[in-house]
Amino acid sequence: MKSEKVNKENRNIWDVNANDWDEAMGEAGNDWHKELIAPETERLLGLKEGDRLLDVGCGNGLFARRMAKKGIQVRAFDFSENNIRNAKKYDCDNISYEVLDATNDADLESLQDMTYDGIVSNMVFMDMPDIEKLFKQIHKLLTDEGSFVFSIQHPCFNSEFVEVQESNSLVIHDYMKESTSKGTAITTQKQEQFYFHRPISYYLNLGVQNALVIDGFFEPTFEQNNRDDVFSKFPPILIVRMRKA
């Protein structure tokens, strides 16, 4: 299935599910966002008041709002019109929202009217059929001292190839195999969404191929006191920081 065809279907799925995700996440996000993703992503970005942040695949604007409240100037985009419509329902101070597609060359080139102190993409890349076009643009979009931070489902411990055992141990199959599948992330979503599994080495090598170096790497887990399950033992999320080489 060609990526253009997949991406069109992918956009339709996210438009259909947008309200379900908005209801599930709300203004500040769920425990995954608030405990695992946002705090460490913010720390790795290392932005200060007045800095410019580009939020790639912003969804309903969870992280954009978090950073805008700290005085960061945020430019946020998503390929789903309904996601952007939902984002605009909330506080938009210091945020500019756009409907753009991170797999589209023309849309990515439209972002080059400025450079950014930080570029972030939270829990998006495993939902995209093509991330190589975006990676090729990072060097042009980022300031010389800027940071590019992305979070994804942990490809080793949180994928279609993982089986959770009764003892909260894991059995992992075919980790190195790149694949496309469908599934649900929240129980209320109306349609299954795409998942594009890639091993960790794919992401790291893609950065190196585009003159980026990895200088931050974090695997958050839930605190066992709050949540005693498999994801207090194994990290369900991987967060990576890259900079210009």
The CATH code of the domain that includes 140 is: 3.40.50.150
- Statement: residue 224 has pLDDT above 80: no
pLDDT, mean over the chain: 95
pLDDT digits (tens, 9 = 90+) for 155-197: 999 999 999 998 889 999 999 999 999 999 999 999 999 999 9
**Are the C-beta atoms of 148 and 212 separated by less than 8 Å?**
yes
Put simply, whether the predicted model's pTM sits higher than 0.85 gets the answer yes
pLDDT digits (tens, 9 = 90+) for 116-127: 999 999 999 999
pLDDT at position 2, please? 67
Over residues 130-146, mean pLDDT = 98
Exposure of 218 in the CB half-sphere (CA atoms within 13 A): 19
pLDDT digits (tens, 9 = 90+) for 29-42: 999 999 999 999 99
Distances in whole angstroms, Cα of residue 225 to Cα of each of 219, 228, 232 = 18, 7, 9
Confidence class of residue 4 from pLDDT cuts 50, 70 and 90? confident
Cα–Cα distance, 241 to 204 (Å, whole number) = 10
pLDDT at position 168, please? 85
Question: E strands within the chain?
Answer: 52-56, 73-78, 95-99, 116-122, 142-153, 162-164, 170-172, 179-183, 193-197, 212-218, 237-244
Query: Going by C-beta distance under 8 Å and a sequence separation of 6 or more, which residues neighbour residue 207?
Result: 135, 213, 214, 240, 242
**Are the C-beta atoms of 100 and 111 separated by less than 8 Å?**
yes
Q: Give the total number of structural domains in the chain.
A: 1
Query: Strand, helix or coil at 42?
Result: helix
For 158, the domain range is 3-244
Report residue 170 as tokens: 């894991």
